[in-house]
Amino acid sequence: MSEKPSNLPVNSDRLWGTILETAAFGATPKGGVRRLTLSQEDRKVRDWFKAACEAAGCTVTVDALGNMFALRPGRDPSRAPIGLGSHLDTQPTGGKFDGILGTLAALEVVRTLNDAGIETEAPLCVANWTNEEGSRFAPAMMGSAAFVGDFTVENILGRKDAEGVTVKEALEAIGYVGAAPVGSQPFEAFVELHIEQGPILEAENKTIGVVEHGQGIVWYDGHITGFESHAGSTPMPLRRDALATFSQIVLAVEAIARKHGPDAVGTVGEVTIANPSRNVIPGEVNFTCEFRSPHAEILKALEADFAAAVTEIAAGRKGVTVEIEQVWRKDPTHFDPKVIGAIREAAEGLGYSNRPMVSGAGHDAFNLATRMPVAMIFVSCKDGLSHNELEDATQADCTAGANVLLHTVLSLAGV
């Protein structure tokens, strides 16, 4: 093994240039990005990413769910690759950094090693995971969840979006139905760089977050059935108002999360009224909601309180039924001490201020951690804002994250 280049830097301007260039795929008028998974915008950025990885000497494979893997050979082909990367899809009103920073920084790591003529001992594998956001198709972190066996490929291929398009049809429409079996790409370890999507690093003026732990998550689909009737002639006591019932559920979600705070959050993110009309009492409402906590016992308490609240609300609403289906659940994630140590050592060695962190947002790394040693690197984003078109980060912070990613990967892979 040769000497690890102690402070080899990535090419900051080249990394920043890729961030600005790829922000054009799905750019919105307000300066954000709308690049829903398996959309034409997603296809364009995938094609760009594939060409860039191939130009950097990687061999790109795609699996049956569109997960992409760009392999850079190492001196010891008997070792499984060290994985790095994240996701390319965004929320409907997403930003330029969520997900794609980790994938572009991984590409920049490969480019930097090429420029320096460095061959690592273990191969490297840059990954783009399909549908991390879970906005168009549920669940979130879908491609990596199937990769680790949380869902069968058939189950995922049949998932439908709001227009009734299946994952299978969407993958075919963008030409990303790959030949590789899902889960077949081996990894020795995985490191994901991501913006924090929260306010801590900025508030404490720290450059790097060494992520040790991720929140547990539970997702529900809700369906409320009342009875449509005339808004003018139906007396209040006779109404079976699905939307008024829904409003009680929204306030219950908020109250339950506050009750178990500060390490608990609850959100109702989507609601649709069937046949909405200003002078018809809503008879049918569909909605989604979710709870998260870093602590398994709090997550269980949130689930129990929510079930009890729904039962009580429905009991108080004559002639209205409330159905709740748990569609996804993930226990809190604890990352790997060796990978955490490598990240912390890289940050210290590069002179970056850093602090241990728990991730509020979900990441593909959470799923991968059930199958291999994993940890994450965070960098700051402006005002801690994400899942918003105003999402922003600085070139200096993105570069710092990429440098830590480079040196973490070098220490794991060996040179």
- What are the residues binding Mn ion (CB under 5 A)? 98-99, 132, 363
Task: Name which of 16 and 129 has its Cβ closer to Mn ion.
Answer: 129
Q: How far apart, in whole angstroms, are the C-alpha atoms of residue 178 and residue 166?
A: 16
Sole window of 119-127, 131-139, 171-179, 375-383 interacting with ligand HGY (rule: CB under 6 A): 131-139
* Nearby residues of 146 by Cβ (< 8 Å), 6 or more positions away: 65, 152, 153, 156, 182, 183
Taking only Cα atoms into account, the Rg of the chain, rounded to an integer number of angstroms, comes to 23
Report strand pairing: 333-334 vs 284-293: unpaired
Give min distance, CB of 150 to ligand HGY, in A.
15
> 339 touches which of ligand HGY, Mn ion, none (CB within 5 to 8 A by kind)?
none
* Nearby residues of 194 by Cβ (< 8 Å), 6 or more positions away: 86, 98, 99, 101, 102, 359, 361, 363, 376, 377, 378
Task: Name which of 170 and 195 has its Cβ closer to ligand HGY.
Answer: 195
**Entry field: residues in the chain:** 415
Task: Name which of 226 and 401 has its Cβ closer to ligand HGY.
Answer: 401
133 binds ligand HGY (CB under 6 A): yes
Sole window of 126-134, 171-179, 229-237, 259-267 interacting with ligand HGY (rule: CB under 6 A): 126-134
Task: Name which of 17 and 360 has its Cβ closer to ligand HGY.
Answer: 360
**Contact code string over 219-238 relative to ligand HGY, x by CB under 6 A:** --------------------
Q: Which residue, judged by CB position, is nearest to ligand HGY in the bound state?
A: 362
> Which of 66, 95, 134, 198 touches ligand HGY by CB under 6 A?
134
32 binds ligand HGY (CB under 6 A): no
> 43 touches which of Mn ion, ligand HGY, none (CB within 5 to 8 A by kind)?
none
Q: How far apart, in whole angstroms, are the C-alpha atoms of residue 165 and residue 50?
A: 25
Contact of 414 with 228, CB cutoff 8 Å: no
Task: Name which of 211 and 313 has its Cβ closer to Mn ion.
Answer: 211
132 binds ligand HGY (CB under 6 A): yes
Size of the site for ligand HGY (CB under 6 A): 6
Amino acid at 271: V
Closest CA to 293 of 282, 280, 306: 306
101 binds ligand HGY (CB under 6 A): no
Give min distance, CB of 86 to Mn ion, in A.
6
> Which of 140, 171, 299, 320 touches ligand HGY by CB under 6 A?
140
Check the annotation: does 392 bind a ligand.
Answer: no
Task: Name which of 281 and 376 has its Cβ closer to Mn ion.
Answer: 376
Concatenating the DSSP letter of every residue in 46-110 gives HHHHHHHHHHTTPEEEEBTT--EEEEE--S-TTSPPEEEEE-----TTB-SSTTHHHHHHHHHHH
Residue 412 has phi, psi (to 5 degrees) of -75, -40
* CB crowding 248-264: b at 16 or more within 10 Å, else e: bbeebbeebbeebeeeb
CA distances from 304 to 28, 218, 258 (A): 40, 12, 15
Alpha helices in 116-210 (DSSP H): 142-147, 153-157, 167-174, 200-204
Residue 305 has phi, psi (to 5 degrees) of -65, -35
Task: Name which of 192 and 241 has its Cβ closer to ligand HGY.
Answer: 192
**Contact code string over 302-341 relative to ligand HGY, x by CB under 6 A:** ----------------------------------------
Residue ranges in 351-380 that form contacts with ligand HGY under rule CB under 6 A: 361-362
User: ∠ at Cα 67 (167, 172), nearest 5°?
Assistant: 40
Task: Name which of 248 and 388 has its Cβ closer to ligand HGY.
Answer: 388
The encoded tokens of residue 33 equal 């990005």
Check the annotation: does 407 bind a ligand.
Answer: no
Q: Which residue, judged by CB position, is nearest to Mn ion in the bound state?
A: 363
89 binds ligand HGY (CB under 6 A): no
User: ∠ at Cα 45 (146, 39), nearest 5°?
Assistant: 65
Task: Name which of 334 and 338 has its Cβ closer to ligand HGY.
Answer: 334
Sole window of 130-138, 183-191, 392-400, 407-415 interacting with ligand HGY (rule: CB under 6 A): 130-138
Check the annotation: does 230 bind a ligand.
Answer: no
Q: How far apart, in whole angstroms, are the C-alpha atoms of residue 88 and residue 176?
A: 14
161 binds ligand HGY (CB under 6 A): no
Binding residues: 87, 98, 133, 194, 387
**Interacting residue ranges for ligand HGY, rule: CB under 6 A:** 132-134, 140, 361-362
Binding residues for Zn(2+): 87, 98, 133, 194, 387
